[in-house]
Amino acid sequence: MNNILHKQLRAYYRDVKKHLPGKSAQKRILFHSLRRDVESYTAEYEITDISDVYNQFGSPVELAEDYAEEISATDWKKKLFRYRLVCALSVTVAIALVLFITYFIHEVRESDANHIEIYIQEEE
């Protein structure tokens, strides 16, 4: 993909994102799906001009409306549930990791503080 097309696609994606309905999590899921479709199309057919993208997918407004209508309520719920589950698991793992590291550092410091060296001196 050439640099000019890349810049034009970024502007195209920005316009599409503005027109997508729904809450931010729903928008993000829908936008990533749409972006994957556009990128696979441009790669498969070796597209070099943004007009080909407009001809295939339509204007950003049309594309946003088509994608919003295409996804059913159950698909939204499934994707949103998976997204929230992944986020919750990621946060849980991150918190557990921080707690483990904190505990490990505390134990290392405690073992250093409790370490007493005893010297035995022999008398002649």
Tell me, what amino acid is at 91? V
For the entire predicted model, the pTM comes to 0.55
Give tens-digit pLDDT for 76-115: 778 888 899 999 999 999 999 999 999 999 888 877 666 6
The answer to whether residues 72 and 26 touch, using CB atoms and an 8 Å cutoff, is no
Q: Among residues of the chain, what percentage have pLDDT more than 90?
A: 37
Both tokens of 105, joined, read 């550092």
CA distance 42 to 53: 8
Q: From residue 63, how far is each of 2, 10, 57, 101 by CA, in Å?
A: 23, 15, 6, 47
Q: Residue 120 pLDDT more than 80?
A: no
CA distance 37 to 51: 16
